[in-house]
Chains A and B, each alone.
Chain A
Amino acid sequence: MSASNPAPEKKRGLLVALVAGVFLLVALVAAALLVNIAERKQEAKNSTVRLADVTENDVDPAKWGTNWPREYDGYKRTSEPSHTKYGGGYGGAEGVVPPQKAARDPWLTRIFAGYLFAVDYRDRRGHAFMLFDQENTKRNVQAEGKQSGNCMHCHASIMPLYRKLGKDAAPQASEAEQLQKGLEAVGALGYWDAHKQLEQLTGKVHPVSCVDCHDPKSMELRVTRPAFVAGIQKLAVSKAAVPHLPSIERWRSGDRARPYDPNVDATRQEKRSYVCGQCHVEYFCGKGTTIFFPWAEGLRVEDMEKQYNSIEVKGARFKDWTHAETGMEVLKAQHPEFEMWSQGIHARSGVACADCHMSYRRDGAQKISEHWVRSPLLSANRSCASCHPYSDEELKSRVEAIQDRHFALMSRAGQAAIAMIDAIVAVRKPYDDQNRPAAAAKAKETFEKNSDFAKLGKEDQDKKLAAETKANLLAAWRAVVDKDPAIKELGELQRAAQWRLDMVAAENSMGFHAPQEMARILAESIDLSRQAQVKAGEVLSGKVAVAGAASAPTKGPKRMSP
């Protein structure tokens, strides 16, 4: 030992210190790893901790969020803008409304002429905005009061109001009956009246939230919306084939002692679609009716059409509106995602809405359902790859190939619809030209007796006169349509063609939910539009005699000869 030489000793000391440092580092990493492993083990053990007690009346998701923070985080993220090639628009930052759909598909404005959707019809955005966007669309201006309380069925967490009004209306009835009563009561209110009543009841009106799909006691999935329950019960008692909903087929083969109950009979996997089907469906909710889903004949486009065509409102066949250009009574489709999914291969294979749109996500050692509900294209690995083991790029390009083809076909159908409208307008025009003097005179006559009208300024008077003249022209034209089978047929063709086109256009998947079915529907729509165009041409050219023209209130117009 060369104690007299301090240098090697110092070196050895340094070496020892270095070794100690390395050991310390190893100990540190081992400790960190240990903590991490312990955390993962803990995560796997306790998935939730109930800190707050939640009840049926807790419509505020923030309270639920204290118990289920991971799910709540996802729910909140639905406010973030997201888009795919065809969906969601390129809205940009949060709070910016998405672009008008008609900016991409100009034919939408033509087929919706005379309806509120020609005024404002924007691309969709996340769940967080469902209520805000409804409160702010130009279709629902408070001063105009055009919408009913029915609309809140799907845009607000409204169950407490249904329960309260249902209990008031029928204190002795069962819970289900009371809900139906409550639904009727809210439907009879104007939108903004219902909004106010709900606000008084729950403090603040919330968009659809946790309680609308989860039982607060067990967190089990459940459906709450009375219109869905009524609709699926009608579907259950119908003869429509529903191979993708095995619980309905089981119920049908049973004794049917009680109505089909989605919350009792359905499997968990079916409920993972039912909860979405409470709102992502075709429905009617106009003023004066209680919202209903047209499922009594089945879920296909012609099943729903059949039902709408067999319903009478105030003695006349059901219509959504009268087309402003052609004067024909037509139908409006909503967003039939549940119905279209029902026609597709994914439904048939037992794949639920939530499997793709709320796919399972790992969070540490936990597996949770993603509550940031959005397009599966934005999470292809989680949404698709669990069954289709391919790369994200491959999966996306497969879906986009379907969507590109679908968009091309739909645009063709839109063009065909415009050609049809042009052709029917050409048939109507000579009638309007001939009827205009009488219609204007009648309008003047109507307002001459009206003392309020005299008080109006010239501009307002002219506006009212023009509107009344237009209404008189329409009435005269409707009389022609009703009398003349050839012209009536044009209306039937337009109704059927537009119903099919809109059913596809309003559906949010750009064809993906059921590509073949939607191609079939579009093919029918194109065919019907072109049939209408051909028949309108025959009427115009005099090839088809129009009986109504001779017996029309005013003398029939001269046909243009070829």
Chain B
Amino acid sequence: MKTNRGFSLLPVPLTLAAAAAGLAIGVGAYAFWYAKGSSYMGNDPATCANCHVMAAHYSGWQAAPHHDVATCNDCHTPAGAISKYTVKALNGWHHSWAFTMGGYPDVIRARPESSAVVEANCRRCHSDLVDSMTQGGNVSCVRCHASVGHAR
């Protein structure tokens, strides 16, 4: 009787929970696959143009002098693995929210945090040349070299 009672009480919510979990995991996994979710873990610049907003930036990068030596991630994410994936996650959240909900400006501009990442990466590769120039001063590289990453 005890067991009977236990069985008669448990299966309904448990089954429901299991089904819901299965549904969430299934639909979620499909959405992840359909949206090429795994590509965002990688380093292929084509990934950044998945959502069309970046199409012009992508083609601009292809025509710009840095396309042989730097991918999107080389400039737009920090070099360290932990900070790289933190920035990826944060940017991924901002981007997918904006693209899904709409209402963002047509000409997008980097947030100050994103600009800081880019500036740090300029110096990471070009330190030999620029360190002595920028010492002590708050100098922005891309203010003058605006088209090295994305040609106009």
> Do the beta carbons of B107 and A386 come within 8 Å of each other?
yes
B9's nearest neighbour on chain A, judged by CB, is A9
Cβ-based interface call for B105 (8 A): yes
> Do the beta carbons of B24 and A30 come within 8 Å of each other?
yes
1/0 per residue A38-78: CB within 8 Å of B? Answer: 10100010000000000000000000000000000000000
Q: Which of B98-138 contact A (CB under 8 A)?
A: 99-100, 102, 105-107, 109
> Do the beta carbons of A27 and B106 come within 8 Å of each other?
no
B99's nearest neighbour on chain A, judged by CB, is A40
For chain B, which range describes its interface: under 10, 10 to 19, 20 to 34, or 35 or more residues? 20 to 34
Report how far A19 CA is from B20 CA in the complex, Å.
Answer: 9
Report how far A19 CA is from B24 CA in the complex, Å.
Answer: 11
Contacts of A37 in B (CB 8 A): 31, 34-35
Take A20-B16, A360-B106 as given contacts and tell me if A34 and B30 are in contact as well, using a CB distance cutoff of 8 Å: yes
For chain A, which range describes its interface: under 10, 10 to 19, 20 to 34, or 35 or more residues? 35 or more
Cβ-based interface call for A103 (8 A): no
Cβ-based interface call for A365 (8 A): yes
Cβ-based interface call for B23 (8 A): yes
Contacts of A3 in B (CB 8 A): 2, 5-6
Which of B14, B21, B34, B109 sits near A34, CB closer than 8 Å? B34
Max chain A C-beta neighbours (<10 A), residue from B9, B27, B55:
B27
Contacts of B5 in A (CB 8 A): 3
> Do the beta carbons of A13 and B53 come within 8 Å of each other?
no
Take A3-B6, A37-B31, A44-B52 as given contacts and tell me if A17 and B105 are in contact as well, using a CB distance cutoff of 8 Å: no
> Do the beta carbons of B16 and A34 come within 8 Å of each other?
no
Cβ-based interface call for A31 (8 A): yes
> Do the beta carbons of A16 and B16 come within 8 Å of each other?
yes
> Do the beta carbons of A389 and B109 come within 8 Å of each other?
yes
Least CB distance from B31 to A in Å reads 4
> Do the beta carbons of B30 and A382 come within 8 Å of each other?
no
1/0 per residue A262-276: CB within 8 Å of B? Answer: 000000000000000
Least CB distance from A364 to B in Å reads 8
Q: Which of B21-60 contact A (CB under 8 A)?
A: 21, 23-24, 26-28, 30-31, 34-35, 51-53, 55
Report how far A9 CA is from B10 CA in the complex, Å.
Answer: 9
20 pairs from A and B in contact (CB 8 Å cutoff): A1-B2, A9-B6, A9-B9, A13-B13, A17-B17, A19-B20, A19-B21, A20-B17, A22-B20, A27-B27, A31-B31, A38-B34, A361-B106, A362-B53, A364-B102, A367-B52, A381-B106, A386-B107, A387-B152, A389-B107
Give A residues with C-beta under 8 Å from B: 1, 3, 9, 13, 16-17, 19-24, 26-27, 30-31, 33-34, 36-38, 40, 44, 359-362, 364-365, 367, 381-382, 385-387, 389
Give B residues with C-beta under 8 Å from A: 2, 5-6, 9-10, 13-14, 16-17, 19-21, 23-24, 26-28, 30-31, 34-35, 51-53, 55, 99-100, 102, 105-107, 109, 146, 152
Given contacts A1-B6, A19-B20, 8 further A-B pairs with CB under 8 A are: A20-B21, A23-B23, A33-B31, A364-B102, A367-B55, A381-B105, A387-B152, A389-B109
